[in-house]
Amino acid sequence: MNKDANILRENGGIKLTEEWAKSLLKRMGYVKRRACSKAKIDVEHFEELKRIFFMYTTNIVSMDEIPPQLVINFDQTAINYVPTPSWTMEKEGAKRVEMMGIDDKRQITAVFGASLSGDFLPLQLVYEGKTTRCLPTYSFPSTWNITYSANHWSNEETMNEYMEMVIFPYIRKIKEDLKLPDEQGALLIFDNFKAQCTSTILTLLDSHNINVALIPANCTDRLQPLDLSINKPAKDFLRKQFESWYAKQVCSQLDEGNQSEGVDLRLSTMKPLGAEWMVAFHSHIKKNSDMVRNGFKEAGIFDCL
């Protein structure tokens, strides 16, 4: 309007259509792509970031003579209360395929921790709520940290709890088992996530002689051990548990002739069930420590150290 009103459509200028926009974008080199939440690092840049990350990690472990049991990785992952798959069976040619629970977005956050030696640490589970009333009525292992936040996401407060109730007790136990001095150093490997990289958290770790190696941004799919070995198997395990339970509920309703009621997926039902399945999963991984070590191997950290 201010610089050249003649190019406006109403003044006989350019007609801005969808085809014109697509043609312009194509001439500019743009193509239609599915969006993703993580930016990909080009190979050359990634190799340099990996080299620096490995060099720093190796130097810390070497200088402080840190044993594999005290090289610890942790990671957060979102867990659905209703872990349904995205496919189902329907008659051929059906134009609309609906699946119960597929749009259920209710979640908790699970924090997994593991050591280079293959040990799977106690879990932290973060539920959504403002008081302890949001927690499930379930008897969790005493070493677990069961907490909550307004949106079930990890924050500085929940991460402080995780350090005090999971990481520090585990490190103390390892030092006792290996007869190591109190001043023995340890190494924590985790993402560059702001809730766990605050000055408060980093100062707390430093006060316990714990070094930190941050996984480079946008490299977690290749350098985060738990992301490579545990997170997906956890969701697969929980989905199978849910499917088995759901099938039994359907069969029971069919036998009783009241299938029209539908399966009860309320939080009061799903919370204790999910808790039971998480405990079963933790026990499963504890018995299969190779799964933990494979994550460190795939990330290259195992061979690096």
pLDDT in tens, 183-231: 999 999 999 999 999 999 999 999 999 999 999 988 999 999 999 999 9
Contacts of 180 (CB under 8 A, 6+ apart): 67, 174
In a domain, 129, yes or no: yes
Does 150 reside within a domain? yes
Asked whether residue 27 is assigned to any structural domain, the reply reads: no
| Segment among 14-18, 57-61, 63-67, 186-190 with least mean pLDDT | 14-18
Residue pLDDT, tens place only, 248-285: 998 888 888 776 678 899 999 999 999 999 999 999 99
Alpha helices in the chain (DSSP H): 18-27, 43-63, 156-162, 168-178, 199-207, 220-223, 225-229, 231-256, 267-286, 289-299, 301-304
Secondary structure class of 59 (helix, strand, coil): helix
Burial 255-273 (b: 16+ CB within 10 A, else e): eeeeeeeebebeeeebbeb
CB atoms closer than 10 angstroms to residue 160: 16
- The count of other CB atoms within 10 Å of the CB of residue 79 is 21
Domain of 221 in residue numbering reads as: 43-86+100-304
251 in any annotated domain: yes
SS3 per-residue string spanning 166-193: HHHHHHHHHHHHHCCCCCCCEEEEEECC
Q: pLDDT tens digits for 29-49?
A: 776 665 555 556 676 789 999
SS3 146: strand
Residue 36 falls inside a structural domain: no
Assign residue 152 the CATH number of its domain.
3.30.420
Taking Cα atoms as reference points, which of 137, 81, 130 lies closest to residue 110?
81
193 is a domain residue: yes
Pairing state between β 186-191 and 71-80 = parallel
User: What pLDDT score does 22 carry?
Assistant: 82
Residue 89 pLDDT: 55
Q: Into how many domains does the chain fold?
A: 1
- Mean pLDDT over all residues of the chain? 89
On whether residue 38 sits in a domain, the answer given is no
Look at residue 35 and tell me if it is in a domain.
Answer: no
